[in-house]
Chains A and B, each alone.
Chain A
Amino acid sequence: MARVKFLCDADRCIECNACVTACKNEHEVPWGINRRRVVTINDGKPGERSVSMACMHCTDAPCAAVCPVSCFYTTADAVVLHSKDLCIGCGYCFYACPFGAPQYPKVGNFGSRGKMDKCTYCAGGPEEDFSTVEFEKYGRNRLAEGKLPLCAEMCSTKSLLAGDGEMIATIYKERVMKRGYGSGAWGWKTAYKETVAI
């Protein structure tokens, strides 16, 4: 089994937000929740870069470590998923997550947190593959269809890469060697305790 990862080549990202839109549309994510977002660093200054960020599916994931009800699990492909049946909407994963991935619908008491929602790497959830319940709770299960996450699949500049960690690291390394610069594999050190050596 592969260890899947995300890699955003910030030197290619043009901040078109298509990944954000595709994700929302594919999974019919409700209003106010963004599983993926594009953040622009040094906006308007020399060296400006945009980074597409979502759940990084960390090794030794902080969310899973702090969850009071142990609702997280890691699949054979190293995708970090959670059960919305167990989630109590306490917000602990949001405090621990370095990437701001966990999102909550405002349906709890006093309009606070409902059950957590985050990027599933287009891998659904604990429900039966392709079932209506799975789609309603977690969105499309593209991985079970043999496809990669839609955000990366449709990225127009191929900035956002998804797939086997070593394979996408090789692609990124080749790019950096060829063009002579790169701003780094964003979030890799934090998420995977390693970076792409060039």
Chain B
Amino acid sequence: MKAQFKIVVAALAIIFASVMLPAAAQYNNFQPTKEAVQEDKLLQQLKEGDRLSGRISIPDAKAASLIQPQGQSWRDFHQNKLPTIGGVVLLGMLGALVLFFLVRGRVKIEHGFSGQTITRFASLDRFAHWMTAGCFIILALSGLNVSVGRIIILPLLGPETFAELTHLGKLAHNYLAFPFMAGVALMFLLWVKDNIPNKLDLEWIKQGGGLFSKGKHPLAERFNAGQKVVFWIVMAGGTVMSVSGWFLLFPYMAPDGVTSLQLMTTVHAVLAVGFVAAMLAHAYIGSVGMEGAFDAMGTGEVDLNWAKEHHALWVAEEQAKAAAVPRNSVPAE
């Protein structure tokens, strides 16, 4: 009995030793010197946009990111790249418009004002346009201010007034985003049917829209190719600005935290520069640049001669519609 017990103990001892010893040996081999995480190595292993993250015991999971070197690229974008892009594009566009005005002058109505008008934009059309345009101007100015106001306006106003102004700008930017989005959506519904590109547009583009040569007016329907381009710039630009803007409005809902927000601010800012440049050109040709053009969005009534020169097919269509209804007919009561 005693011998049997000894054998069992010995067997157990052997099993125990064979299981535990390698584990112990492994433990003894662990060298803190070699195996401690090294900040240098970890940083070198990071790819673009990566962060050095770990585990955290406080409830804010986003705080688990320890070091995000990407912040330095964002700083470079914000401090160097964006002002360069913005300066070149916006000043370039302003310069081009001034040059165009000096060379071409105001595009005149060749046959002069006829005194007769035709309805171009109904009140709902103009409401959609000006709601979007009004918001756009304030969004653009407050956006420009938050990007470069520190260099231009801060020295003029002083830190307190400038901070107050910029804060109001931020509030305006946040709230006016919504009527802007509504305006873009409304314009889409109102005008998309007349903005589908077709064969006429190719001809219009070939002739440069008649912009560069006096007395030449390529045929156009309700919207010519240039206006269609503006329409689609507003639709595409408005959509991307809105989507990226939503991320920035609700920063705590961004899926990847700071990395996606950095991307969204970059997209938002670069696109904004292009958008503002395009709208400068749009505003120029719709006001100073062309005689009779502003009435379309002003009173909604344009001069018949202007309409015939720029939108001959549209005028013909409207007149055909009007002729179909007898002029002196009394509306049914």
Using a CB–CB cutoff of 8 Å, the interface residues on chain A facing chain B are 10-11, 15, 17, 20, 32, 34, 37-43, 46-51, 53, 62, 65-71, 85-92, 94-100, 106, 109-113, 180-187, 189-190, 195
Contacts and interface: CB of A to CB of B under 8 A. Distances in A.
Given A51-B66, A98-B71, A106 B252 contact: yes
Interface string B160-190: 1011001100110011000000000000000
Interface stretch (B10-18, B146-154, B226-234): B146-154
B37 A48 contact: yes
B198 interface: no
Contacts of A96: 71-72, 74-75, 78
Contacts of A67: 150
B38 A183 contact: yes
Contact of B258 (A53, A100, A109): A100
Contacts of B35: 46-47
Contact of B74 (A89, A95, A100): A95
Interface residues of B, number: 58
The 9 A-B residue pairs whose C-beta atoms are closest, nearest first, are: A181-B33, A184-B39, A47-B35, A86-B163, A43-B55, A39-B54, A41-B54, A88-B167, A96-B75
B247 to A, nearest CB: 11
Contact of B53 (A39, A91, A189): A39
Contacts of A185: 39
A70 B150 contact: yes
Contacts of A62: 71-72, 75
B63 A34 contact: yes
Given A66-B75, A95-B74, A85 B160 contact: yes
B74 A40 contact: no
B262 A98 contact: no
A181 B32 contact: yes
B261 interface: yes
B37 A39 contact: no
A183 B146 CA distance: 40
Nearest to A115: B167
Given A11-B32, A39-B64, A46-B35, A69 B162 contact: yes
B250 interface: yes
24 contacts: A17-B57, A32-B60, A34-B60, A37-B56, A39-B65, A47-B32, A47-B36, A49-B37, A53-B67, A62-B71, A65-B79, A67-B150, A69-B150, A69-B162, A70-B159, A71-B163, A85-B163, A88-B170, A100-B258, A111-B252, A181-B33, A184-B40, A185-B39, A190-B43
B96 interface: no
Contacts of A15: 57
A98 B238 CA distance: 31
B196 interface: no
Contacts of A98: 67-69, 71-72
Interface of B: 30, 32-33, 35-40, 42-43, 52-58, 60, 62-69, 71-72, 74-75, 78-79, 145-147, 149-150, 154, 159-160, 162-163, 166-167, 170-171, 174-175, 248-252, 258, 261-262, 265
Contacts of B261: 91, 94-95
A69 B146 CA distance: 8
Contacts of A184: 38-40
A42 B37 contact: yes
Contact of B54 (A40, A97, A113, A181): A40
Nearest to A47: B35
A42 to B, nearest CB: 5
Contacts of A88: 163, 166-167, 170
Contacts of A85: 160, 163
A50 B53 CA distance: 11
Contacts of A68: 145-147, 149-150, 166
Given A10-B37, A37-B63, A41-B66, 10 more contacts: A10-B36, A20-B58, A34-B60, A39-B63, A47-B36, A51-B66, A88-B166, A95-B258, A110-B249, A187-B39
Contacts of B52: 41
B54 to A, nearest CB: 4
A36 to B, nearest CB: 10
B209 to A, nearest CB: 39
Nearest to B27: A46
B33 A38 contact: no
A69 B159 CA distance: 7
Nearest to B266: A95
B54 A43 contact: yes
Contacts of A89: 170
